[in-house]
Amino acid sequence: MHEDALLTMDKITKVYPNGIVANNEVSFSIRKGEIHALAGENGAGKSTLMRILFGLEESQGGTITLNGSEIKVGSPHEAIAHGIGMVHQHFMLVPSLTVAENMILGVEPRKRLKIDLQKAIKDTRILSDKYNLAVDPLVKVQFLPVGTKQKVEILKALYRGAEILILDEPTAVLTPQETKELFAELKLLKNLGTTIIFISHKLHEVKALCDRITIMRNGRSQGTFNISDVTPTDISRLMVGRDVILEIKKGPSRPGNVMLSVKDLVMANDLGQRAVKGVSFQVRKGEILGIAGVEGNGQSELVEGITGLEKIAHGEVLIGGEAVNRKSIKEIRNLGTCHIPEDRMTYGVAKEMTIEQNVLADKHDSPAFTGPILTKTRAIRDLSNKLVRYRDCRSFASAEAGMLSGGNIQCSCRPEFFADPQLIYDSRSADLGHRWGKLNLSVTAW
């Protein structure tokens, strides 16, 4: 495509077994020593394209050319051998191993039968100094904050000789300060000769950091541009396919009585550390409360405490005036609580069951749907069809939940599917106001 291209992916096509075309003849090319942004909405096919480049997925068509010769990347091992490294959105680290051990995993230096740990520690220090990525080689990864884990991931790729570094939405888990730090580090990397592919949908980050940008939509490339030639409006139009209105209309709120009250809540995480440190707040009826913060700062543990998924270490949660500390999840739900989890595929739905069956999940013991021995098939079907038709969930009640797209899964997690919701916890909704504004409920979001 370009004569000066370091790496070119030509006409890459990927169709998943469920028929979704993730990449449709995508062509993508990068130059040596640049920071190249790969932008697009969720599900546009960015990650799939990069997973193909890193050997994690197999493409059905297309070629990859590196330094002028065609290469086949059948596994991450081969990608690494070609000097391609990837930092995944979910870190690929082994928590119980130290930083140095994670660094050398798979390419261990040896001293007779043993791992040469001294060399690993020394190498980690040298690399960490060279690229100004400060990490302590002797600390176990499980005790590191997210930002530092990311540094370990970048160092890991560099240790394996990566000349092309793929970063999959690296800023999603970082605070603004950490993001600034990361950008300085990436610019240093670039000056030292590393080529970087930066996957993101945050426009101002792309503008601040990158040299060129390739935009994807619906599995197709929308073209590659010099970053100085396009405005943020251009980029978002190419990403979404229409002009984007970022403001929503919302009437004044008319809050009522206190529905949810959290007092001095303390929660522990899996490692026995304090994750929630004495949080207090109240939510009134008809109110939307946003909880902001970067991933891993106690939001998940806070929700687990309110919804009864984990035991509360200290403090109190009152729903409609009733303390829930000793209540079961079922009792908390019966108080009118509904929880839309962060990871819907795992906690929101049973993937291999139909929507009907998923809808029944919290109603299986209701006499309206269950007789003395058998479930009442017709009542369940009627309800499911009613709910599926409600608003714009375009799917069939008998479809398997796992076959649905992310948006439709969100639909089947909707509180309308549950009996008489009073309180809704939602994480990861892009258009909260639009979704919940019409309902006279308390909504907590983060």
Residue from 314, 327, 376, 381 in contact with another protein (CB under 8 A): 314
Give the pairing of strands 21-31 and 164-168.
unpaired
Residue from 5, 21, 188, 266 in contact with another protein (CB under 8 A): 266
Closest CA to 337 of 421, 237, 272, 403: 421
- b/e per residue 92-102 (b: at least 16 CB within 10 A): ebeeeebbbbb
Residue from 40, 45, 76, 336 in contact with another protein (CB under 8 A): 76
**Cβ nearer to another protein, comparing 149 with 435:** 149
**Cβ nearer to another protein, comparing 81 with 353:** 81
What number of residues does the chain have? 446
Return phi, psi of residue 267, to 5°.
Answer: -130, 145
Other Cβ atoms less than 10 A from the Cβ of 173: the count is 19
Considering only residues 88 to 147 of the shown chain, the ones binding another protein according to CB under 8 A are 88, 90-97, 101-102, 105-108, 110, 113-115
User: Any contact of residue 279 with another protein (CB under 8 A)?
Assistant: no
State in angstroms the smallest separation of the CB of 43 from another protein. 21
Residue from 20, 313, 353, 419 in contact with another protein (CB under 8 A): 313
**Cβ nearer to another protein, comparing 92 with 134:** 92
**Cβ nearer to another protein, comparing 51 with 201:** 51
Amino acid present at 75 = S
**196, 31 Cβ separation under 8 angstroms:** no
User: Any contact of residue 329 with another protein (CB under 8 A)?
Assistant: no
H or E element, residue 432 = helix 432-436
State in angstroms the smallest separation of the CB of 340 from another protein. 26
Considering only residues 202 to 261 of the shown chain, the ones binding another protein according to CB under 8 A are none
Residue from 187, 311, 389, 434 in contact with another protein (CB under 8 A): 311
User: Any contact of residue 278 with another protein (CB under 8 A)?
Assistant: yes
Task: Draw the binding track, 160-189, toward another protein (x: CB under 8 A; -: no contact).
Answer: x-----------------------------
Token representation of residue 284: 């009134």
Give the pairing of strands 21-31 and 423-426.
unpaired
State in angstroms the smallest separation of the CB of 71 from another protein. 16
**Cβ nearer to another protein, comparing 191 with 273:** 273
Amino acid present at 116 = D
Give the pairing of strands 212-217 and 35-39.
parallel
**411, 328 Cβ separation under 8 angstroms:** no
- The long-range contacts involving 271-276, CB below 8 angstroms and separated by at least 24 positions, are 271/142, 271/143, 274/313, 275/300, 275/301, 276/301, 276/302, 276/305
**Cβ nearer to another protein, comparing 61 with 278:** 278
Residue from 252, 272, 371, 372 in contact with another protein (CB under 8 A): 272
DSSP state of 22: E
Number of residues in contact with another protein, rule: CB under 8 A?
Answer: 40
Other Cβ atoms less than 10 A from the Cβ of 274: the count is 14
Which residues bind to another protein, rule: CB under 8 A?
Answer: 56, 75-77, 80, 86, 88, 90-97, 101-102, 105-108, 110, 113-115, 156, 160, 264, 266-268, 272-274, 277-278, 311, 313-315
